[in-house]
Structure 1
């Protein structure tokens, strides 16, 4: 019996489906590795064969296009003409090839394919292109030859990610600039990486790396899967960014999109050879994603597995990424894409509504990634709660290292929008922040980029709203909304970050309360970059209150890092009373106490804890974090003896708990 079923007896009625899924993975793995005669990594080498490659004496180009009847390689090197010397020849299994003398093609030349098929023809960007650029005047995309004389040489070749715990700073290079423009890899490396290092995070999760024709898609409508977005610079500049991060001890996780593809034909991989189902489903209903206006891969095809698995290996080996956050996993594993599903009981996960081929691909991808780089990090963005996502493959899981705790940000937004402050019940907060499968690690977060996209707001802006425009200066009188917002912003983050069982994530700028929302240039906002940037000056200005939140976040992150393997320490609830809105829990030698009550402060509030002397090491109400400083944190607290609990070595600690504050205390050994 697989461990996934042993660990959860409620899954036993679905053992046939779970075992069938695992057996199917083993069969496909055997098929792709020739019954284990080669490694899966040996299969995932398409990027070394397809596309344009420079050898010692020639250029070789190959493309898979079984429906094509004629193909020419056209570009600036031949004035975009259909010359016989650039005509591709079929070499079997739908593969086309052309060999060109070295002196005919040069670094930075632009090129495309002109493909003819029965009933039509058109120019296409090759599917395996490693560099794609857009003409600034015509806005037309073309592949570009990228063979610089001096390729970037990595300095930190043996870097290993720190996952004790994993503290992720979610980033978008393009919107990382203060200016209203697209930020560059170099600017991010020089200006933003030092900020992240100072803030204490040990990983960055970079969005929108794979080339995408529409900037406003946030990188989720990928057109060229092997090409780093040229909007932000060159491949060498991205390599240097990653290498520099490694030198700072920062892991680099790529937000990878294998859940769908842009439907564009001239920019993407749609209809490269004129057929609609080359990489995608032949059934139009399965091929087209109605909610995302994109195309869905057919993961049952060996060629698609070859393409996507090679893509994973390419980013790991060529750019030294430390792993991936897989986007849209729910959309992949359900035939309905998870739309309109309730996922209220286990039968919803095993009702024949799952895409077995997509599930198998994700398992194979995790097998491959950890085969190529054993210390790699894989994270699943999945909303349904499918059991086993973040379990080892050998235990019957999908092989991800972590899954996103997507219930937590939903809970905070719903609470802020719909609950009165008096109804912020500790029992609900505890349940949502700790409700997870015991055999799967999660990434907890209050808000990612998703919660601030156009039409929504950041947490701080929901709490403070328009007062943010007028009362965030220290030189003006404050308001109740500002004081409340600053207090709750810190408490929300503290309880979310310190109840983790795997890692914690923050979106760029949200640690210091970046205002408003995220909105990329589009027709509806007159193509403005105003909301597609980060206003770092707000955090840097000592006369504004934003730095209070950033300073607190840094202290919180450093507190977590001060406890070795913080995420694995037992999490023990010691107190919660919904009537008082007080929550307390212990982790190792740390005691966390929250008073979410909006009106009542409590004197000598008793909480039953292990006997000893406790010292306050973090106070959300400290004046250096924008609080009122109502507690004297220099005073240590001793537990009071209680004969009823002495045999358990417990006593009562009496604390002053101001309204809307939290304390972290450490017991002295």
Structure 2
């Protein structure tokens, strides 16, 4: 210490402060640790050896001995296990001072010489076996902006992940990580990590009382290092929580967050994004392949290894391209601890799952999809979250993200918690998360899971288990407002994306614009069509005539919303069996019925979604713990179904009549919806001059001399026939062509007598001539 200064340890750090620091409950930690300007008592050394004090002397006879207060800089630090600490000027590397050791617990403090202006510094720390130089995090001001915090609290922040969570920063040339978390009711929040040996008394964060946010910039943190937040609650309990905004997570059971990589990804999909922005998706083909990445295909001797994104680029993308799908929809990939949840109980909403590769490898996969002309949709879960203790539940000892009252906050079906959509910070968390996947990963849209459970306060509850809204109704007004804000903001921010709702009730206006009172989604899964048609599919053909309306009723409401016909993973789990398993009869009937059903689906108004495995006629119910049964493609019937789906996709993508008027009832015309006795439906899909005639027979009977109405005179080509040998059928048909007759029928001026194959779908198109079919057509028609 400078010989011209006399400063007590009490001036450097009061005793009460040391005690609180050791107990890790000093409230305003940044006002204590780090570098601060203080006033200290100073005297000059006595000029003479025999100077004596005397009351008889004049007051100013030895003024040099009177203490005076001057401004100086004090540096305080808490470094457990340290023996000595030197203060080093970061600019020139010179030693400025040695800090005094105030106790044996590692508290040091000292004056920075005669300096009065703050400067950047390092601490040279001497431990018993090593010497380290560290950059003191307590010398840095907060990196948060008032505007960001205001928008976050208001509930309109779209990019909270840019300042909450763990973000790499460089401050005055010092590289480090800025940690920030929302925990308004905590007494203390600390970053515990690999670097501080998971000691909560180190790296205590700065509290922003007005916003409930805590932050700290820690220099020198390495990418991929593990961390959590140690939170002391108002009741004095200590919680260890993963970072709600963490962009990378450790696998279970530790479930720590991880500092993300510094590396950025260089996107190559500008052409795709430009095309996407200029595509009117309601008038474009959308055929979605729903994929669970953990079980699409596996590696290893026993199929125990997940495919990584690099392998998925090589295997999944070519398959999707070959099959003619326009989009891939990934089941949830935000980090989830339990494989059996399939991702629908995420804990790390901002962390792509470790299972399939890094965040940049995920970006490379999406980039490769885009370059192959394939859109990528993400299953997104904003309806609920699990009760895992390291997650959001009672995050700071109180209900932050959920409701306190279980009648509002707990989901009875899944034993999960419901977000408090009326709280601004929760809205910002969810809005930012949606924005994160669309911005950082270039996803082409989000499919929202379990929207119905968000809309209704009494969803799956008895009369005593829910609370009405402010108007006495059952509608969740806060959730409705959140969904409207979500769709409005995402569509404004990302041109050409698709927002999809899984909504299973008759809630009006799911796909109506927010300006007109709707929820603002682009599309809605048609759950009514799915339930009715699968019920019909499972009936014996002998009894289908009594349930004909299950096949036709969906056309009553098909144009009330923008629908996607979905056969998702939910229909092939929990004892429901595979699609093939649902169908009665022998193998021939099962495969034929499935092909006919797919033909009806692709002809029906609405975009398409098929879960993986359906297009190879998977026999077993889906199992998330094993690969699809790709070996089935060694057998002709399974090959036939796969070819049929591929050719349906090809026809679909080439025919404006099938995709351009899904939202318009003028694009669909029944020829016959009442032929229950024969279990046959026939209809026309049309757009301009293009017309496709679908005839679907759901019985094993062959109908010869069957008359069908035709929209105009001419020769018609049998564009597709699911009973062709090429698809595994019995090869009954019309030799590839049909000629119209001037005989009015089914409201048409023309008609034709055709042969309708058993359990089959025929698609006729106006050809204009009676020439023999081309080689390209042979695969799609019977050879007889």
Is the aligned partner of 1:172 residue 2:292?
A: yes
Is the aligned partner of 1:400 residue 2:505?
A: no
Matched residue of 1:193: which SS? helix
Is the aligned partner of 1:294 residue 2:416?
A: yes
- Structure 1 residue aligned with 2:227: 111
- Structure 2 residue aligned with 1:157: 270
Aligned length: 584
Is the aligned partner of 1:665 residue 2:764?
A: yes
Is the aligned partner of 1:572 residue 2:669?
A: yes
Q: CA deviation digits over 1:442-496, x for unaligned, max 9? A: 0013x210011132211102226xxxxxxxxxxxxxxx61000011001111111
Q: Between Structure 1 and Structure 2, whose CA radius of gyration is higher?
A: 2
Is the aligned partner of 1:245 residue 2:337?
A: no
TM-score, normalised on structure 1? 0.83
Equivalent pair of 2:297/2:627 in contact (CA under 8 Å): yes
Q: 2:249 aligns with which of 132, 137, 154?
A: 132
Q: Distance in 2 between matches of 1:328 and 1:111?
A: 32
Matched residue of 1:431: which SS? helix
Is the aligned partner of 1:269 residue 2:392?
A: yes
Matched residue of 2:208: which SS? strand
**1:654–1:429 CA distance, 2 compared to 1 (3 A):** farther
- Structure 2 residue aligned with 1:545: 637
Q: Distance in 2 between matches of 1:371 and 1:52?
A: 27
The list of structure 1 runs, each at least 4 consecutive aligned residues, that deviate by more than 3 angstroms after superposition, is: 160-163, 180-183, 338-341, 416-422, 424-427
Alpha-carbon shift at residue 75 of structure 1 (Å): 1.0
Q: Distance in 1 between matches of 2:393 and 2:182?
A: 13
The residue correspondences of 1:283-432 to structure 2 (distance < 5 A) are 283-338=405-460, 352-424=473-545, 427-432=548-553
Q: 1:627 aligns with which of 717, 720, 729?
A: 729
Q: 1:536 aligns with which of 618, 627, 630?
A: 630
Matched residue of 1:252: which SS? strand
Q: CA deviation digits over 1:185-220, x for unaligned, max 9? A: 232222111101100000011012111111101111
Is the aligned partner of 1:556 residue 2:655?
A: no
**1:565–1:366 CA distance, 2 compared to 1 (3 A):** farther
Matched residue of 2:609: which SS? strand
Q: Distance in 1 between matches of 2:623 and 2:339?
A: 11
Equivalent pair of 1:614/1:666 in contact (CA under 8 Å): yes
Q: Distance in 2 between matches of 1:363 and 1:186?
A: 37
Q: CA deviation digits over 1:552-597, x for unaligned, max 9? A: 1001110111113623341111123112222111112211112223
**1:198–1:294 CA distance, 2 compared to 1 (3 A):** same
Alpha-carbon shift at residue 396 of structure 1 (Å): 1.8
**1:264–1:182 CA distance, 2 compared to 1 (3 A):** same
Aligned-residue CA RMSD in angstroms? 2.4
Alpha-carbon shift at residue 42 of structure 1 (Å): 7.1
Matched residue of 2:656: which SS? coil
Q: Distance in 2 between matches of 1:257 and 1:74?
A: 29
Is the aligned partner of 1:608 residue 2:705?
A: no
Matched residue of 2:306: which SS? coil
**1:418–1:666 CA distance, 2 compared to 1 (3 A):** closer
Q: CA deviation digits over 1:334-374, x for unaligned, max 9? A: 00125579xxxxxxxx9811100001101100011101112
Alpha-carbon shift at residue 623 of structure 1 (Å): 0.1
Equivalent pair of 1:426/1:581 in contact (CA under 8 Å): no
**1:497–1:351 CA distance, 2 compared to 1 (3 A):** farther
- Structure 2 residue aligned with 1:233: 357
Equivalent pair of 2:156/2:424 in contact (CA under 8 Å): no
**1:629–1:565 CA distance, 2 compared to 1 (3 A):** closer
Alpha-carbon shift at residue 229 of structure 1 (Å): 1.0
Alpha-carbon shift at residue 415 of structure 1 (Å): 2.2
Q: Distance in 2 between matches of 1:238 and 1:200?
A: 22
Matched residue of 1:548: which SS? helix
Q: Distance in 1 between matches of 2:180 and 2:224?
A: 19
- Structure 2 residue aligned with 1:494: 599
- Structure with higher RCO (Cα < 8 A, 6+ apart): 1
Give 5+ residue unaligned stretches, structure 2: 1-146, 464-470, 662-666, 769-784
Q: Distance in 1 between matches of 2:435 and 2:297?
A: 30
**1:421–1:245 CA distance, 2 compared to 1 (3 A):** farther
Equivalent pair of 1:208/1:219 in contact (CA under 8 Å): yes
Is the aligned partner of 1:147 residue 2:271?
A: no
Give 5+ residue unaligned stretches, structure 1: 1-32, 342-349, 465-479, 521-528
Q: CA deviation digits over 1:608-632, x for unaligned, max 9? A: 2222211101001000100011224
Matched residue of 2:600: which SS? helix
Shifted more, 299-308 versus 173-182: the winner is 173-182
TM-score, normalised on structure 2? 0.71
Q: Distance in 2 between matches of 1:269 and 1:375?
A: 32
The structure whose residues are more often helix, as a share, is: 1
